[in-house]
Amino acid sequence: MDTALSAHRFHFAFTIIYHYLFPQLTMGLAFLIALLKIQGLRTRNPVYDTAARFWVRLFAINFAMGVVTGIPMEFQFGTNWSGFAKKAGGIVGQTLAMEGIFAFFLESSFLGLVLFGEKKLGPRAHTAATVLLAIGTWVSGFFITATNAWMQHPVGHRVLPDGRIELDSLRAVLTNPWLMAQYPHTILGSLVTASIVVASIGALYVLLKMHPEQGRLFVKLGVGVGLPAAILVAFPTGDVQAKNVALKQPIAFAAMEGMFQTERGADLVLIGQPDVEKLKLDNPLEVPDVLSFLTHKRWKAEIKGLEAFPRDQWPQNIPLLYYCYHIMVGLGTIFIGVLGLAAVLLWREKLFEQRWMIWILMFLLPFPYIANTAGWVTAELGRQPWLVYGILRTRDGASEHVSSGNALFSLLGFMGLYSALSALFLLLVVKKIQKGPVPNPEPTAT
Amino acid sequence: METTWFCIAAFMMTVYVILDGYDLGAGVVHLFIARTASERATVIRAVGQVWDGNEVWLLSFGGAIFVAFPLLLATSFSGFYLPLMMLLWLLTGRALGIEFRHQLDHGSWTAFWDVIFSLSSGLLALFLGVALGNVVRGVPLATDGTFFAPLWGSGGVLDGYTVLAGLTATAALTHHGALWIALKTEGDLQMRSRRAAKFAGWGTVALLLAATLWTHRIQPHILSRFSAHPWGHLFPLVAIAGIGTAIAMRRRRRDLEAFLASSAFLAFMLITVAFSLYPYMLPSSTDPALGLTVHNAAAPASGLKTALMWWIPGMVPVVAYFVYVNRKFAGKISASEEGY
């Protein structure tokens, strides 16, 4: 692989992984804030408004980080991936521009009102503004996922003789069967992140005996929303998604599962280290025939291994793809277990007596971020060596006149900038958490 | 169809420059006109309520280009690689200056972000002008339709002409931003912003005169456009009337009228540029035939038609939010209002 292409790929990977640390929280958190506001409006209990105000403060910092790290993503299609913009702009230009018109204006307008307008608007309109803000973030996620889904499974297009890709049906692009599983999977993943973050901060307050009433509310909210979200991430959305990959990207599927040889009655690999040089899996821990059953509902169904496909179609980084997929699935399973147990304890009104469970909830905080990131890395590495699956190779999408030196210059610039941003972000978040969900000193409009 | 999209893109850019222009201009004068802690908080608050929504117009301008002229996006973004990366860093700096400043209540913290906000706003204004200067001057497109512009030197982004364009834009946006602050504030801050507007207003007139003369020398296409379509002279005339009215109204302390006149000036300046370049969007400084036009850079027709079908209805709620938000945030800003 040549240096310039590597630099462009790493440039995009670094900036998007960093960027998605923020929207994955805000999309879910906007929903939870809207729930708190609605509950506050219904019960007239100020505890919900105090909680909502606290989370809006954390939301605002995360949203600002999402905006400032998101704009470079939009630019990079032109700066670093001009081949892609030139050939596929007819399709991805549509979805990305739709995000601007249908989501960004909505989000930015109502964020200002949510942040600055609680008194100006009054409780009803302010609650409505939080709902519209949540809708805005979800619409935004829809168009971005639609763009990615088209790259994973292109539909609704025609390839012109000069290599450009023309839009045939926007409806087909927006109802892409791939998108129908990927979008709910993504949004639910975001809800898992937000729920676990809310529960974790709540657990922290409970353990520190700071703001105990709010702490317990956060834990209940986080577990209550997190458990159904974690289940739905796995089934049906994750399950359908895996079947889509098995059907439409069988090479990626084989690599994800660490299958080098074609098997009838394929085993499900739990742990093991892929050895791409010797084409085998070291130290495998497997459950017999389960992979065949999960994929085809038949215990002895055939699943093709990597060897069945030409090498130039293999994803370049099979071990990383394999690990990311297993990390995502493994953590997803753990979330269901932990949140399920917490929910049972909550239901029997024993959760807050079981300190060990509160500790576990608190330490769960980083893991949904890891799971969501690993999931996206799986999707993106699995699509390789294609940029648009089956149509445009990644190497043909990069800007040919932007040298590796120039790409590295801006990559290092972003690394420096984002390091500084991370320090500031953590400082501010810690300050906000220290301050905690304290009621407004002045009487509020509610 | 291509021309419709050219107009849509020009419209998005114009709205962006009018709206975010006052944020940037406010940033330029921030350190000079806002002296006390509460005055600085007032300016940041005024900008803080709207900058994000205003910046979306820039993204949507990018979206319009991506949808309608993907070749233009690909060519210009990869060709202007380094300046665009720096533009991104400046946009980040500006956003953080606004969003992080009020998060901690400590003198050094706020002072630091005041400088970051002001510096990145000023450089952004300069950059936007330099970018426009580059588009008017044209870029050295090779026979394969691509280019890669160094920052300076032969065929570079910065030369005498583009720097002059950058300074002109900075003066015009400073004028615009100072008038907006005068509109949104009271007392000493308002007086000082009117004074800043006075200097920036006359600076704009002087720089604009120089830039116009140089433009006629550097881009001959413009003269032929005006002689072929004499009605096009209307645009620069309205622009001149706009800046004249803005200066006259500022002297009478009619802040709203001055700000609106300044908006009209910016709008008609940009329309003048768009009109005089058409059908070019990125002229070539080597062989004029290589320049990117609305025709050779357009996406296939089916996509343009489809995008128009959702773009127009999509703009209806955008205008509705805009009106709603601006009505909610209308009137003078005070630093002690509620907020998170």
pLDDT number for residue A444? 41
d(CA A233, CA A316): 27
Is the model's pTM score more than 0.80?
yes
Mean pLDDT of A17-34: 97
AA identity, residue B136: V
Q: Do β-strands A263-264 and A268-275 pair in parallel, antiparallel, or remain unpaired?
A: unpaired
- Cβ separation B74–A78 shorter than 8 A: yes
Least confident of A71-85, A338-352, A428-442, B4-18: A428-442
pLDDT exceeds 90 at position A432: yes
Confidence category of residue A80, pLDDT binned at 50, 70, 90: very high
Dump the DSSP string for A414-425: HHHHHHHHHHHH
Is the per-residue pLDDT at B335 higher than 80?
no
CA distance B63 to chain A (A): 4
- pLDDT-derived band of residue B104, with 50, 70 and 90 as boundaries? confident
Residue B337 has pLDDT above 80, yes or no: no
pLDDT at position B340 is 57
**A197-217 confidence digits (pLDDT tens):** 999 999 999 999 999 999 999
- SS3 assignment, position A444: coil
Q: Rounded mean pLDDT of B208-235?
A: 90
Distances (CA, A) of B213 to A322, B266, B286: 63, 18, 21
Separation of alpha carbons A389 and A359, rounded Å: 44
Average pLDDT, integer, range A174-185: 96
CA A373, A374, A375, A380 dihedral sign is positive
* B321: contact with A, CB 8 A cutoff: yes
> pLDDT value at position B108?
92
* pLDDT on residue A147: 97
Taking an 8 Å cut-off on Cβ atoms, the answer to whether A112 and B50 are in contact is yes
pLDDT of amino acid B336 = 62
**Facing A82 at nearest CB: one of B52, B78, B340:** B78
Task: State the DSSP H helix or E strand holding residue A259, giving kind and residue range, or none if neither.
Answer: none
Name the residue with higher pLDDT: A444 or A406. A406
Q: Do A56 and B340 touch (CB under 8 A)?
A: yes
pLDDT tens digit string along A236-283? 999 999 999 999 999 999 999 999 999 998 999 999 999 999 999 999
Q: Does B120 touch chain A (CB under 8 A)?
A: no
Helical H segments across A117-234, by residue range:
118-152, 170-174, 177-208, 212-232
Average pLDDT of span B108-112:
93
CA–chain centroid gap for B307, Å, is 25
- Of B147, B158, B162, B149, the residue nearest B287 (C-alpha): B147
Buried b / exposed e over A331-361, threshold 16 CB at 10 Å, is bbeebbebbebbbebbeeeebbeeeebbeeb
Chain A touched by B306 (CB under 8 Å): yes
Contact assignment for A167 to B148 by CB distance below 8 Å? no
* Average pLDDT taken over every residue of chain B: 91
Torsions phi, psi for A283 (to 5 deg): 45, 50
**Taking CB atoms and an 8 Å cutoff, what residues of chain A touch B77?**
75, 77-79, 82, 85
Instruction: Report the share of chain B in percent with pLDDT over 70.
Output: 98
Q: With 50 as the cut, is the pLDDT of residue A446 above it?
A: no
Alpha helices in A348-365 (DSSP H): 355-363
The mean pLDDT value of chain A amounts to: 93
DSSP code, position A308: G
Please tell me the predicted confidence (pLDDT) of residue B288. Answer: 85
Residue in this structure with the two tokens 């620069």, named with its chain if needed? B236
Contact call for B56 and A110, based on CB within 8 A? no
Nearest-Cα distance to chain A for B70, in Å, is 5
**Nearest Cα residue to A379 out of A325, A313, A302:** A325
The closest alpha carbon to A115, from A56, A52, A40, belongs to A56
Task: Over range A410-423, report the average pLDDT.
Answer: 96
Which of A164, A130, A159 lies closest to A32, judged by CA?
A130
Three-state secondary structure call for residue A195: helix
What's the burial of B227, exposed, middle or buried (CB within 10 Å: 0-12/13-18/19+)? exposed
If you average pLDDT over residues B129-144, what whole number do you get?
91
Which chain A residues touch B67 with a CB distance below 8 Å? 89, 93-94, 96-97
> What Cα–Cα distance (Å) separates residue B203 from each residue in A34, A122, B17, B171, B253?
49, 45, 19, 6, 19
Percent of chain A with pLDDT strictly greater than 90 = 87
Q: Which residues of A touch B302 (CB under 8 A)?
A: 166-168
Cα angle: A411, vertex B121, A69; to 5 degrees: 35
Are A425 and A415 within 8 A, CB to CB? no
Question: What are the residue ranges of helices labelled H in B157-300?
Answer: 160-184, 187-218, 220-228, 234-251, 255-277
Radius of gyration, CA atoms only, chain B:
20
The ipTM is 0.91
Chain A residue with minimal CA distance to B304? Answer: A90
DSSP A305: -
